[in-house]
Chains A and B, each alone.
Chain A
Amino acid sequence: MADVKAAETAAPLDLLDERLRRGDGWRSVAGGLWRRVRSGDLGVLPIVLGLVVIWTVFQSLNSVFLSSANLVNLLMESASVGIIALGVVCVLLVGQIDLSVGSVSGLSAALTAVTFVSHGWPLPLSMAAALGAGALIGVVYAQMVTRLGVPSFVATLAGLLSFLGIQLWLLGDTGAINLPFESDLVHFAQLAFLPEWLSYVLVVVAAGWLFATGYGLARTRRAAGLSARSTSLLVARSAAVLLGLGFAVWYLNRARGVGWLFVSFVVLVLLLHYALTRTGWGRSVFAVGGNAEAARRAGINVRRVYTSVFVLCSTLAALGGMIAAARLAAANQATGAGDVNLNAIAAAVIGGTSLFGGRGSAFSALLGILVIQSISNGLTLLDLDSSFRFIITGLVLALAVTLDSVARRSRVAHGRAA
């Protein structure tokens, strides 16, 4: 008995149960990862592998693909739809859908251009107006879904058509409004790049911050008698981030470097990641997506969660539309039209956010849009027309969703959350 007692006091509070596999250090970490993958909890693994395959194929077909200049371009192009996809992630997390993100982004682009160029409003005011319109659209959707019980699929499908109409009406007969090149918005989206030194400073800050937060958490956990990641593991993780990001930044700096636009996108991803994983709001988003009735009974204001998510999605769509217009230096009838809508949703899903709610992450927008933009960019380089782009993006989406379904079945069989 005494021996058992001693062993128990030595083990962290959360690892006392004798049924748990216990172990320290690297082998247990690797073993744990392997068990997770085998049980169908694939995480980002399929996307990363997919990206490697896509990049290898395109590089072998056209050696320009992985050049610094092209990658800089690829990242800049991915920001606008990526930002839209961020909003889609939120809506998918609560088990709803927004099919109108494309039209909302187009409407926002048109609204910015009309007020800024045609009516001569100050730029911040135009942008605020467009973002406000986006937020308002989100409020309307949320009211329709929560108060009137309209399925979000239908509400946003109606929105898709209506807002496309308003966009065309705003743009008038010419169908396009050019944004002046010297405006801050266009400059930001096209020409603003980080100075080389600053990009490296940011890499070091990112790795240092990752280590500091990880170490802080581990220390608090150990002080509280819980198990914690070992310091060597934290150092290794930060070192990997430092080297990986450092190499990427060095490679991009051989061309124009890292765009402020892309950095802003990444910052948005990180902010949303924090909000989703570390705040009460994020917890309620996952809870509502997992079991809305349970969330309601736990005292969560489900209606407010839905509203926040729809507002966030439409506002991010508006922001994405503005940036798309700025990239083009024009808002026209094609802004937000065509495949923007589906690309944004596909990016979220390819990135690993479940269509059924309750599972996903802000990073899925980033990874998913990289996949989609790589395909689009690679095919453009090969001079293949958009028919191929649609076909291949569609196939990748089908593959991603199939993989997710299979992994989901495996997760259920292994007793992990579906």
Chain B
Amino acid sequence: MNDPVKEPAAAPGGRPILSLRGISKNFGAVAALTDVDLDVSPGEVVAVVGDNGAGKSTLVKVLAGVHRPDAGTLTFADREVTVASPADAHALGIATVFQDLALCENLNVIQNLFLGRELRRARLDEVTMEIRSWELLRQLSAKIPTVRVPVASLSGGQRQTVAIARTLLGDPRVIVLDEPTAALGVAQTAEVLNLIERLRERGLGVIMISHNMEDVRAVADRVVVLRLGRNNGVFAAEAPSEEIVAAMIGASDNVVSRRAGRARSVKGEA
């Protein structure tokens, strides 16, 4: 396993594969997204962070074709596109892994991986599907002992892996991950973060929604902050957490910084 130094397929900061400009989405009187911009380049991991209600989930749904934006443009591979349905998103090459993963627990790993795109639908080619499943899981160094068990028996990290691996079968160019580490333990989180790095090495554009700053800083190249449905700053991953958190919450004087300040002063007195 002595791979040569991995060259990203395209240098981060190259031409974006996917660009959002001025995206707005209203639900009745509520403006869930207002004038949001977002870029992701091939081989780049962009984290989108924000407090509850910042519009992260709405943004994911816009990218996945679940919601149509009320205003704004999507540019994919230098072409202005409309994503009116999940099928449109698939066809373009934007794959989304939702937080609930959307796996069928009663089906096994192979069946889930190939769900909706089975080989030879009149007489399923199970053998080829099994081999391709193994190849895919090996490429991702996934730790799944057997692919012929129902997904119900897999751990959270393994399910996340299956869900991500499934999107790769469609040869996407951008993957949107909604809270990929939210429900995972320490080791499983590390596994998923490794997986995200492997996606980047494959030259995919990765948009990762999260509110775990530690995970974000571990893998992201850039951090985009949303606040109350608007862009509120773009940070390098190395930026101090306090700055990012401040942008998420909206001010440098906020609950978090006051707490931090209090903790410092307590330490100082002691």
- A-side residues, CB < 8 A to B, are 13-15, 17, 19-20, 217, 220-221, 224-226, 278-281, 283-284, 286-287, 289-291, 293-300, 358-359, 412, 414-418
Q: Which residues of A contact B121 (CB under 8 A)?
A: 279-281
Considering the chains assembled together, what is the distance between the CA atoms of A170 and B98 in angstroms?
53
Q: State whether A300 and B104 are in contact (beta carbons under 8 Å apart), knowing that A20-B145, A224-B131 are contacts in the complex.
A: no
Q: Which residues of A contact B131 (CB under 8 A)?
A: 13, 224-226
Question: B145 contacts which of A19, A225, A283, A296 (Cβ < 8 Å)?
Answer: A19
Instruction: Tell me the complex Cα distance, A198–B166, Å.
Output: 48
Which residues of the other chain, B, contact A224 by a CB distance below 8 angstroms? 127-128, 130-131
Chain A nearest Cβ from B191, distance in angstroms:
15
- B124 partner residues in chain A, CB cutoff 8 A: 278-280, 283
Determine whether the beta carbon of B145 is less than 8 Å from that of A279.
Answer: no
Find chain A residues with CB under 8 A from B111 CB.
283, 286-287
**B148 near A: Cβ within 8 Å?**
yes
Given known A-B contacts A224-B127, A224-B131, A358-B104, A297 and B98 have beta carbons under 8 A apart: yes
Contact B102 A293 (CB under 8 A): yes
Task: Select A279's contact among B115, B123, B166, beta carbons within 8 Å.
Answer: B123
**Complex Cα distance A225/B128, Å?**
11
Q: CB distance B122 to A283 under 8 Å?
A: no
Q: A14-B148, A217-B127, A358-B104 are in contact. List 20 more A-B contacts (CB 8 A).
A: A13-B131, A14-B146, A19-B145, A20-B145, A226-B130, A280-B118, A280-B121, A286-B106, A286-B107, A290-B105, A290-B107, A294-B104, A295-B116, A297-B102, A298-B117, A358-B106, A359-B106, A415-B149, A415-B153, A417-B150
In the complex, whether B235 has a CB less than 8 A from a CB of chain A is no
Residues of B within 8 A of A20 (CB): 145-146
Question: Considering the complex of A and B, which 3 residue pairs feature the smallest CB-CB distances, nearest first?
Answer: A280-B121, A415-B153, A417-B150
Selected contact of A298 from candidates B116, B130, B143, B145, CB within 8 Å = B116
Chain B: CB-nearest residue to A18: B145
Chain B residues within an 8 Å CB radius of A220: 127
Query: Which residues of chain B have C-beta atoms less than 8 A from A417's C-beta?
Result: 105-107, 150-153
Contact digits for B27-65, partner A, Cβ 8 Å, 1 yes 0 no: 000000000000000000000000000000000000000
**Interface on B for A, CB 8 Å cutoff?**
86-87, 90, 98, 101-107, 111, 115-118, 121-124, 127-128, 130-131, 134, 143-153, 166
Q: Which residues of B contact A295 (CB under 8 A)?
A: 104, 115-116
| Residues of chain B with a CB closer than 8 A to A418's CB | 105-106, 152
B contacts with A: majority SS? loop
Given the contacts A279-B123, A358-B106, A417-B106, A294 and B115 also touching, CB distance less than 8 Å: yes
Tell me how far the C-beta of A292 lies from the nearest C-beta in chain B, rounded to whole angstroms.
9
Q: Which among B86, B106, B145 is the interface contact of A299 at CB below 8 angstroms?
A: B86
Q: Which of B102, B128, B149, B151 has the most CB of A within 10 A?
A: B102
Q: Who on chain B is nearest to A301 by CB? A: B116
Closest to B147 in A: A14
Contact of A14 among B86, B118, B130 (CB under 8 A): B130
Find A289's partner among B103, B106, B144 (CB 8 Å cutoff): B106
Q: Which residues of B contact A358 (CB under 8 A)?
A: 104-106
| Chain A nearest Cβ from B121, distance in angstroms | 3
Interface contact B103-A416, CB-CB below 8 Å: no
Closest to B90 in A: A299
Please give, as numbers and ranges, the residues of chain B lying within 8 Å of A359 by CB-CB distance: 106
Q: How far is the CA of A14 from the CA of B130 in the complex (A)?
A: 8
CA–CA, A316 and B100, complex, Å:
37
The chain B residue sitting closest to A418, CB to CB, is B152
- Report A-chain residues with C-beta under 8 Å of the C-beta of B130: 14, 224, 226
Contacts of A416 in B (CB 8 A): 149-150, 152-153
A279, A299, A412: which contacts B87 (Cβ < 8 A)? A299
B115 with A298: CB separation less than 8 A: yes
CA distance A272 to B229 in the complex (A): 51
B241 CB to nearest A CB, Å: 34
B223 CB to nearest chain A CB (Å): 27
Are A279 and B104 closer than 8 Å at their CB atoms?
Answer: no
- A294 x B102 contact (CB < 8 A): yes
Q: 24 interchain pairs (CB within 8 A)?
A: A14-B134, A14-B148, A17-B143, A17-B144, A279-B121, A283-B111, A283-B124, A286-B106, A286-B107, A287-B104, A287-B111, A293-B102, A294-B101, A294-B102, A297-B102, A298-B102, A299-B87, A300-B116, A358-B104, A359-B106, A416-B153, A417-B150, A417-B152, A418-B105
The chain A residue with its CB closest to the CB of B148 is: A14
Q: Which of A17, A279, A283, A296 contacts B146 (CB 8 A)?
A: A17
Contacts of B148 in A (CB 8 A): 14
* A300 and B115 within 8 A (CB): yes
CA distance A416 to B152 in the complex (A): 6
